[in-house]
Structure 1
């Protein structure tokens, strides 16, 4: 009983950590494009260049952050650095972005790319793997902590849309406030049950560069990376300028922005509700199958949006994302734990789920930005949907089955165990 109370006590800070970080994520990715269009006066190609730089610069951060996270394990040096830098989001967009834009569009893309990719594209893997490892040590489901991120999406969509209509720059100051909260909880609240730390992989002394380099020889790493490059990356590229596409269905930009706010609130509400049963669902169907289901749902959503005759249908297909994210987030965390060496958890997560993804985002952001200007949103979305379908079909045949015990899908003493040979 005492142990249960201790684990419960060591759980509640992590959902708030997720909340504060993903409030920043949802606000920036939900409204940065709109801010750059209306305040920065960037066109589709220039906005795409900013997102491409964010993805491109993160290609440097991702592998470094992965290895450093595996070495640090539960030490908070890196994660605190990211949270402190995030405090300066408000000052950057208030006082630095537009002066840099007046100097040179390429310069603002580079500086913004470095700044935001450190916090978001690079930093997300640090946050995610830290909480995932904490869930193993403290014996709670990662998805239940990630509910905090879903709540953040709801709050961000409700608050940020209104803040933007009131004063566009205020959305970034809200991010700075969230970063202060994040820093406070990392310092004073998030506790690890160190008696169970070995469950998350005690790598601080045993991990060496030879072991790290060996991960590149694993065929399944490359299959997972290709899946992320073709499915999850295009998911992000699709969402980057989606608000601009959505506003074309309305007579005024303000009306479109307001409906967009309600729509994203509904999406994240679905995501929030599904986060609770999703660990149980993934434990039943397997994390590999969860990833494949995510890929096909993403394909349906993109193609459906491209062919939608009215904004009502666009809203319907957008709400599917409320199912996609719980599927992806729960599946990938369990899959990496069950299909790879746990000592290399952060490295694999950074390389396959983020590094490879950002390569794709880096390429597709600029390409998609140009295609939006040349052939329009609908035709561009059709191309994206076809790419996602082909890549997901490939992964359905090539992705290795995970070890259900190591993935936490079944108990170690369960009779329903199909051990998977490690590569």
Structure 2
């Protein structure tokens, strides 16, 4: 299944320059959406493990929270993908994610904490389901909506996405201070960030073709997504390889990070390891934003498949290095290496999907190929490695994890086709619905 962009002689693809896009208000709007969403995201994933550990949860139970989060996302993402492709640029699904994020503070204070004292298994299930609505399931809606909007408004997805890195860095920087005053305040800060996010989503510019469809048809019509479209996607060999890669790399990126803060805090030589970890994460994500400036141009030149292979290689080095070299300086270095790793993954994932598959179902392709595959991997590996940490220790488990990543990368590389020379549709064609829009306009003219 082709993404609708023409395939040339593997010539490098060009894209909008950051110096031009930064002058446009629409980039700042979508950049702000990313900033405040990932402020809330970073609060959750930087401090959730520490907070649950402080509440008395075992490593196995903490792993179970992540497993439930992944399973919830696994159930929701196919539906979310189908709905978002039909909604196009309309915002109700995104708004639902924002409302759930805004209630994070009350949930942790009045539901999650009391449940942990009653029953850790029940708390893991309830907490995992709710947190997934904001994170593992919710992020798929955020990313799919914003990627489509970036092509419609003709700016690079990566240039808006770097604001998410800045938001994460900001959250990590202030998170340590908030944690020191009262760990529970972390969750109220996440709620505040979500409220600002809601305002920015409300005023976000509706791309031209969505407005045009509404005017032409008299009402905002849903996209036509057929069973044949979905069947063609899931039987595509490129898609199968992409799924294997996401299960064996992107999922283990999250599994590795879930309890790395505990590993880090136990080994570093520092009077306040939690504050040090927050500072390191803040620097890492700030560097990530800098790398994100240049990543779209690099991926346009080398291709998204090669970008994904580079991401996987860096992940192997980071996981294996964390197992073998555990001095304070080394652990800081391994964490900072994620500043290169994450931009290559994010940009390459989006460019591979929109270049290799039909953009009309880009949300479905993203949520099945990235979201569901990643959720399956997290659900499978969180419990396995959570038990491994308890039984064998972190270092031994990290060695096994690095081998799994390497094997998955090799297998996926054999299945995935090369996207170099392909270009994703932009502007009026970004939503893959130009033909439908023309039909609606012709019908309206005849009427």
| Same fold? TM cut 0.5 | yes
Q: Does the residue aligned with 2:298 lie in a helix, a strand or coil?
A: helix
1:43 is aligned to 2:58: yes
Change (3 A) 1:132 1:67: same
Identify the residue that residue 16 of structure 1 maps to in structure 2: 32
Q: 1:27 aligns with which of 40, 43, 64?
A: 43
Look up the SS of the partner of 1:118 in the other structure. Answer: helix
> 2:304–2:352: 8 Å Cα contact kept in structure 1?
yes
The alpha-carbon deviation at position 165 of structure 1 amounts to 1.5
2: distance between equivalents of 1:5 and 1:384?
39
Q: Describe the shift of the 1:348–1:189 C-alpha distance in structure 2 as closer, same or farther (beyond 3 A).
A: closer
Map 1:304-383; keep pairs closer than 5 Å: 304-383=321-400
Q: Deviations over 1:97-118 (max 9, x none)?
A: 1221233222111111111111
Aligned mates of 1:403, 1:204 — CA distance in 2: 32
User: Which residue in 2 is equivalent to 1:222?
Assistant: 240
Partner of 1:243: 261
- Residue 187 of structure 1: aligned partner: 202
User: 2:127 maps to which residue?
Assistant: 112
Equivalent of 2:185, from 170, 189, 197?
170
Secondary structure of 1:355's match? helix
The alpha carbon displacement at 1:190 in A equals 3.9
Once the two structures are TM-superposed, the CA of residue 7 in structure 1 deviates from its matched residue by 8.8
Quick check: 1:294–1:328 contact (8 Å CA) kept in 2? yes
Q: Which residue of 1 aligns with 2:286?
A: 269
Render the CA deviation track for 1:43-85: whole Å, top value 9, x for unaligned: 1001011111001111111111111110101000100011011
1:195 and 1:179 mapped to 2: Cα distance? 25
Q: Which shows bigger deviation, 277-286 or 187-196?
A: 187-196
The aligned residue for residue 144 of structure 2 is: 129
Shift of 1:192: 2.3
1:325-371 deviation line (CA, Å, top 9, x unaligned): 11011111111001111111000100111101111101111111111
* Match in the other structure for 2:7: none
Provide Cα deviations, 1:159-193, integer angstroms capped at 9, x if missing partner: 11211121000010010001101111111234423
Unaligned runs of 5+ residues in structure 2 are: 1-19, 214-219, 427-447
Shift of 1:309: 3.5
Q: Provide the residue aligned with 1:419 in structure 2.
A: none
Partner of 2:403: 386
- Of 52-61 and 389-398, more deviation after overlay is shown by 389-398
Cα drift, residue 197 of structure 1: 8.3
CA–CA separation in structure 1 for the residues paired with 2:31 and 2:157? 9
Aligned counterpart, 2:421: 404
Identify which of structures 1 and 2 has the higher relative contact order when contacts are C-alpha pairs closer than 8 Å and 6+ apart: 2
Cα distance in 2 for partners of 1:177, 1:306 equals: 37
Q: 1:117 to 1:378 in 2, by over 3 A?
A: same
Cα 1:88/1:136, change in 2 over 3 Å: same
Q: Does 1:289 align with 2:295?
A: no
Shift of 1:22: 0.9
Question: Alpha carbons of 1:76 and 1:195: their partners in 2 closer, same or farther (altered >3 Å)?
Answer: closer
Unpaired segments ≥5 residues, structure 1: 410-423
Equivalence for 2:435: none
Q: Give the stretch that moved more between structures: 387-396 or 350-359.
A: 387-396
User: In 1, distance between residues paired with 2:284 and 2:120?
Assistant: 34
Deviation per CA, 1:346-403, whole angstroms, max 9, x where unpaired?
A: 0010011110111110111111111111111100111101111111122232211126
**C-alpha deviation, 1:212, in angstroms:** 2.3
* Matching of residue 65 in structure 1 with residue 83 in structure 2: no
Measured on the aligned residues, the alpha-carbon RMSD in Å equals 2.2
2:237–2:416 contact (8 Å) kept in structure 1: no
After TM superposition, the score normalised by the length of structure 2 is 0.86
Q: Summarize the Cα distance change of 1:205–1:62 in structure 2 as closer, same or farther, 3 Å threshold.
A: closer
Describe how 1:140-179 pairs up with structure 2 within 5 A.
140-179=155-194
Aligned to 1:415: none
Counterpart of 1:212? 230
Could you tell me whether the CA contact under 8 Å between 1:147 and 1:272 is conserved in 2? yes
CA–CA separation in structure 2 for the residues paired with 1:6 and 1:172: 32
CA distance in structure 2 between the partners assigned to 1:317 and 1:5 by the alignment? 32
Corresponding residue pairs, total: 402
Pairing of 1:403-422 with structure 2 (within 5 A): 404-407=421-424
TM superposition score normalised by structure 1:
0.91
Pair 1:138-2:156 in alignment: no
